[in-house]
């Protein structure tokens, strides 16, 4: 199994809603990542978990709250988002380290904030 | 400050011909470089990588060349196929535990 699975694929939410994005991998990878990507832009790193501990937070606003319940799961809790937060949210994993290298990406959650 | 630059936003080539995608970088500490391919509404997929101790790495139709003195790398796809049409991101890192720095991407269109 070389997949990173993200749910949901699409999400529309209002600015007062609370929602969560989910990510799962069963490759035994010990580093997991959240990236945000706007159209025609490169992926921007948000958070990195290494061995289930948050190791990198790229100064992301607190309305985004990551959680790593175990080595296979990664969540991103969303609350009080702004329309400018609309983007493709990508989860990724890698074998080790905190920085990346060969990342395996999920298909992403396309988020629209109204 | 953009440390990884893909200056051409798009490239169009004929099927069967060679596609050459270029990438420049400014950080001389980068020691590992990767290319990712992305289709619309999908996550990027790893394509090929190269360490700074090499100047060429080949995998099937894909070859990456690294010119450290020029801080330049390129991805060659030969022969190009319509299924290669996608956005290609160049990425770089400075060590085992550093984060990836992505370029803005280049959209490749392969015409049948």
Main-chain phi, psi angles of B20, to 5 degrees:
-125, 115
Structure tokens given for A31: 């580093």
**What part of A 51-90 touches B (C-beta under 8 Å)?**
56, 88, 90
Average pLDDT across each block of 10 residues of chain B; the chain has 112 residues. List them in order.
89 98 95 93 91 95 97 98 96 81 95 94
What are the chain B neighbours of A27 within 8 Å (beta carbons)? none
Tens digits of pLDDT across chain A (114 residues): 668 999 999 999 999 899 999 999 999 998 999 999 998 888 999 999 989 999 888 889 999 999 999 999 999 999 999 999 999 999 999 886 655 568 899 999 999 999
pLDDT of residue A99: 54
What element of type H or E holds A32?
A: strand A31-37
Q: Closest residue of B to A50, CA-based?
A: B97
pLDDT at A100: 56
Asked if A97 is an interface residue toward chain B (Cβ–Cβ < 8 A), one would say yes
Query: Cβ contacts (< 8 Å) between B52 and chain A: which residues?
Result: none
Residues whose CB falls within 8 Å of the CB of residue A48, separated by 6 or more in sequence, listed in order = A31, A32, A33, A54, A55, A56, A98, A99, B99
Q: What is the pLDDT of residue B99?
A: 82
Q: What is the predicted pLDDT for the residue at B97? A: 64
Number of other CB atoms surrounding residue B53 within 10 Å: 9
């Amino acid at each position: 199994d070389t997949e990173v699975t993200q749910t949901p694929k699409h999400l529309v939410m209002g600015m007062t809603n609370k929602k969560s994005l989910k990510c799962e991998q069963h490759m035994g990878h010990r580093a997991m990542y959240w990236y945000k990507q706007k159209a025609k832009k490169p992926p921007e790193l948000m958070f990195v978990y290494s061995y289930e501990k948050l190791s990198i937070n790229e100064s992301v606003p607190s309305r985004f709250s990551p959680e790593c319940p175990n080595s296979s799961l990664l969540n991103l809790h969303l609350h009080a988002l702004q329309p400018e937060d609309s983007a493709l949210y990508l989860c990724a994993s890698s074998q080790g380290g905190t920085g990346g290298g060969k990342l395996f990406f999920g298909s992403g959650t396309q988020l629209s904030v109204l | 400050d953009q440390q990884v630059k893909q200056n051409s936003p798009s490239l169009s080539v004929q099927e069967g011909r060679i596609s050459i995608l270029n990438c420049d970088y400014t950080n001389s500490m980068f020691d590992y470089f990767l290319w990712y391919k992305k289709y619309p509404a999908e996550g990027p997929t790893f394509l090929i990588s190269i360490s700074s101790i090499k100047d060429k790495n080949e995998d099937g139709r894909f070859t990456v060349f690294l010119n450290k003195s020029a801080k330049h790398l390129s991805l060659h796809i030969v022969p190009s196929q319509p299924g290669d049409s996608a956005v290609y991101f160049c990425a770089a890192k400075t060590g085992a535990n550093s984060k990836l720095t992505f370029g803005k991407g280049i959209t490749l269109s392969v015409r049948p």
